[in-house]
């Protein structure tokens, strides 16, 4: 009986601890400030792509844009364990993503930031576009997409909490232009 009780307590402790452990990309600090230069987008996707690289593919199925992050890029940070993370997309509690790097015509790959860095470290920064094209997982990922272009509008700053509140109150369109 004592062994059975200890097993149940151990299992309960493991479940409790695993539920308390959030990944780094669950939600970002709501006080983080973002701005609309050069643009700021708020969107939802059909899958969880926050840790994956995106590319742009034109109507002729040619890759016209793919990431080129250097280790010293402000868009990427390396944590104390040497793991690479993106610093341009932020997941909100409302289920939306806020991004300083986006376009409604993006396609997602299954290549993670870490995999990208490992590849560059091993093979150099000259990555063939075909490598990205082979790894496409969603050509039409956005279910909703809003943008505030800094080149066409006055410069604005928001906290992630303010944007989350707009999203939760269905007021994104009061500031952002809905593209999808």
Model confidence over 104-163: pLDDT tens digits? Answer: 999 999 999 889 888 888 887 778 888 889 999 999 999 999 999 877 778 889 999 999
Residue 32 lies in a domain: yes
pLDDT of residue 172: 96
For residues 160 and 103, give the distance between their C-alpha atoms in angstroms, rounded to a whole number. Answer: 19
Residue 82 lies in a domain: yes
Residue 144 lies in a domain: yes
Residue 87 lies in a domain: yes
pLDDT of residue 165: 96
Give me 74's structure tokens: 């402000």
Total tally of structural domains belonging to the chain: 1
Place of tokens 């999808």: 180
Residue 158 lies in a domain: yes
Task: Indicate if the pLDDT at residue 12 is higher than 70.
Answer: no
For residues 36 and 31, give the distance between their C-alpha atoms in angstroms, rounded to a whole number. Answer: 16
Give me 37's structure tokens: 């230069």
User: What is the longest distance spanned by two Cα atoms in the chain?
Assistant: 71
Model confidence over 78-102: pLDDT tens digits? Answer: 778 877 777 788 999 999 999 987 7
Place of tokens 């560059």: 120
> With contact defined as beta carbons under 8 Å apart, do 180 and 145 qualify?
yes
**1-15, 52-66, 103-117, 149-163: lowest mean pLDDT where?**
1-15
Residue 19 lies in a domain: no
pLDDT of residue 74: 67
Distance of CA 6 to the CA centre of its chain: 41
Residue 12 lies in a domain: no
Residue 7 lies in a domain: no
Give me 123's structure tokens: 């093979």
Query: How much is the pTM?
Result: 0.77
Q: Which domain range does residue 78 map to?
A: 24-178
């Amino acid at each position: 009986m004592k062994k059975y009780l200890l097993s149940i307590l151990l299992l309960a402790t493991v479940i409790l601890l695993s539920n308390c452990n959030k990944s780094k990309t669950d939600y970002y600090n709501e006080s983080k400030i973002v701005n609309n230069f050069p643009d700021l987008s708020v969107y939802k996707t059909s899958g969880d792509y926050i840790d994956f690289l995106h590319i742009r593919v034109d109507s002729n199925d040619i890759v016209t844009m793919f990431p080129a992050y250097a280790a010293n890029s402000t868009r990427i940070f390396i944590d104390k364990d040497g793991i690479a993370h993106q610093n341009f997309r932020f997941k909100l509690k409302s289920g939306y993503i806020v991004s300083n790097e986006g376009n409604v015509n993006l396609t997602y790959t299954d290549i993670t930031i870490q995999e990208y860095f490992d590849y560059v470290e091993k093979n150099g920064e000259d990555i063939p576009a075909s490598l990205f094209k082979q790894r496409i997982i969603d050509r039409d990922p956005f279910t909703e997409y809003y943008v505030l272009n800094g080149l066409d509008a006055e410069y604005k700053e928001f906290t992630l909490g303010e944007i989350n509140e707009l999203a939760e109150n269905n007021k994104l369109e009061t500031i952002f232009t809905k593209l999808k």
